[in-house]
Amino acid sequence: KQEVTQIPAALSVPEGENLVLNCSFTDSAIYNLQWFRQDPGKGLTSLLLIQSSQREQTSGRLNASLDKSSGRSTLYIAASQPGDSATYLCAVGSGAGSYQLTFGKGTKLSVIP
Amino acid sequence: NAGVTQTPKFQVLKTGQSMTLQCAQDMNHNSMYWYRQDPGMGLRLIYYSASEGTTDKGEVPNGYNVSRLNKREFSLRLESAAPSQTSVYFCASRRGPDSGNIQYFGAGTRLSVL
């Protein structure tokens, strides 16, 4: 059974800092890995998706990397802003013939002005 | 496009009552999913439908039933609600490998069972 772990559970940084969120998974037989953002009381917004054959994906100030062999992914946020404050969820896509996502419990990020 | 729409947004039930959570997507996606999110547990898959006419159990299916009414709609039914089913429920949809398998989520239904 795939298990996804996110460290740290919570993180507080001053505005302008660069930061890294970590995600690890136990089964390297994955199709892809997706990073989501969730604001309080809201649904999930997809930020980046990395296919298993890729090493990284970039969108604006966000960069996600994937090391499938070691079961790790990182989400790098450059020049953090108060608007980045949210919970970030890592989800691993796998399942031969019946694609499913397995989620980590998330990292709650607070960016202090 | 509205994306994934869930109704209702909030609901309070008494133990033993039944209700159906509705989900509809307008993106012509093949697959649809129901998750629940509980504090400290993350999102867990309840049921999914890989394509119209099929449904399968996820990690936590007990106490729930689903119906894939057509390609657009996927409903989740609680036949006899229990306090343990107090949670936030999310519906999601996915087109398939040609779109990278990205899942799109609704805004959620917040359910309290007293």
pLDDT digits (tens, 9 = 90+) for A65-113: 999 999 999 999 999 999 999 999 999 998 756 788 999 999 999 999 9
Q: How big is the A-B interface in CB pairs under 8 Å?
A: 53
Residues of chain A in contact with residue B43, where contact means CB-CB under 8 angstroms, are: 44, 89, 91, 101, 103
pLDDT at position A55 is 95
Average pLDDT over chain B, rounded to whole?
93
pLDDT at position B71 is 94
| B34: confidence class by pLDDT, cuts 50, 70, 90 | very high
Q: Kindly report the nearest CA distance between residue A104 and chain B, in angstroms.
A: 6
What is the mean predicted confidence (pLDDT) over B40-66? 93
Asked if residue A17 has pLDDT above 80, the reply is yes
Residue range A24-66, pLDDT digits in tens? 999 999 999 999 999 988 889 999 999 999 999 999 999 999 9
A18 touches chain B (CB under 8 A): no
Asked if residue B42 has pLDDT above 90, the reply is no
- Report whether B109 contacts B6 (CB < 8 A): yes
Sign of CA dihedral B32, B84, B59, A21: positive
Residue from A6, A44, A103 to probe the interface with B (highest B Cβ count within 10 Å): A44
| B1: confidence class by pLDDT, cuts 50, 70, 90 | low
Residue among B48, B67, B66, B50 nearest B58 (CA): B48
- Report whether B43 contacts B99 (CB < 8 A): no
Low-confidence winner among A58-62, B22-26, B51-55, B72-76 (lowest mean pLDDT):
B51-55
pLDDT at position B40 is 81
**Structural tokens at position A74:** 């990182």
B39 touches chain A (CB under 8 A): no
Name the DSSP letter for residue A49. Answer: E
| B41: confidence class by pLDDT, cuts 50, 70, 90 | confident
Q: Who contacts B80 (Cβ-Cβ below 8 Å, separation ≥6)?
A: B16, B17, B18, B63
